[in-house]
Chains A and B, each alone.
Chain A
Amino acid sequence: MTVAFGRDHELHRRRFGRNLGLGLVLAAFVALIFALTVVKVSQGDSLQGYDHAPRPELVPQPQQGGN
């Protein structure tokens, strides 16, 4: 069976510019988030991976001195 692809609906042609613009904005947004992530990671900003390992700050510290 062959699928006959008809011509684009008139709506698609009419909205092509708008859809293209939105697509480019979204692509730029993804690229920006990726670049920001690379910068944040390489700067050593506080990051926490939930890898089932105990997190040091959650382990109770032994009391120092006192009564």
Chain B
Amino acid sequence: MTDTSAFDGTAHDAAGEARFGDYVQLLKPRVMSLVVFTAAVGLLVAPVPVHPLVAFASILFIALGGGASGALNMWYDADIDAVMRRTQRRPVPAGRVGPQDALALGLALSGISVVMLGLAANWFAAAFLAFTIFFYAVVYTIWLKRSTPQNIVIGGAAGAFPPMIGWAVATGGISAESVLMFLLTFMWTPPHFWALALFMNDDYSRAGVPMLTVTHGRPATRRHILGYTLALAPVGPALAVSQIGGPIMLATTLVLNAAFVAGALRIRARSDATAAADHYAVEKRFFKLSLAYLFLHFAALLAEAALRPWGMGGW
């Protein structure tokens, strides 16, 4: 999920010293909420029961790992965060937290979260979390973000791993279902992010981030949104007919995919002039729909798992 917390307004004292809330903000709590939710679904829909406290602790440590990668991202990206309106009030560019403090917090929390997940759950899940942190901090933030307009396509994988880690906590491995949950978030990320880029274009241009809107222009971005939306469409139905799916998931995914594809078609059909005239209303609506799309898919999977003990969920 995109962190759109532009002006959270975390207060700091007159001396400009960091408060506890500034360190919390380094962990990107809004992004963390998506990590918590999808990891929890991955864990709860798995066919192996987990003790509630072990499940709680595991999700907490997965979230902490997500937070650690957020802090590492804020450390490395402080220069471009300072020129983007959306991010210039983050603790590092605003001068409330030093870059070295952000780096130290990110590295320390990375180590703690991985070791603790290994001790609480299993070492496969811990290794998966370590790989995810590495992928987000190094592959996406340090390497891809500034070098290719496909940055968020590949970098989006980092945000898509948490349900697989949750599944790994319960089962100790990977399966077709966990890969499909990964694909759902992975394929969803480009249309979600590019819709945002369409109406936040100035920010990315100013920062020199090679976002697709900057390098290939808006018409190409609109085509890409439609292309990825069509590629995303079969993933939900595949999950619906899998071992963890069911009729609720099938109905949910059919409705959401119909709305999402329709939205992408509308975006594709618009010109820049039309979009500017109504202040990107269609693009903004599509962006909001994308948030609901992902949330409702995972909520439907959770509903199937919750109803299963009563003989109602699943096929």
**Taking beta carbons and an 8 Å cutoff, which residues of A are in contact with B?**
14-15, 17-18, 20-22, 32, 35-36, 39, 43
Contact = CB atoms under 8 A, between A and B. Distances in A.
Given A18-B18, A32-B57, A39-B53, 7 more contacts: A17-B20, A22-B20, A35-B53, A36-B53, A36-B57, A36-B120, A43-B51
B13 interface: yes
A interface SS class: helix
A39 B15 contact: no
Contacts of B51: 39, 43
Contact of B20 (A21, A32, A43): A21
Interface residues of B, number: 14
B180 interface: no
B interface SS class: helix
Contact of B13 (A14, A20, A21, A22): A14
B270 interface: no
B262 interface: no
Interface in B12-65: 13, 15, 17-20, 23, 51, 53-54, 57, 60
Given A39-B51, A43-B51, A18 B57 contact: no
A14 B16 CA distance: 10
Contacts of B53: 35-36, 39
Contacts of A22: 20
A15 B54 contact: no
B18 A14 contact: no
Nearest to B119: A36
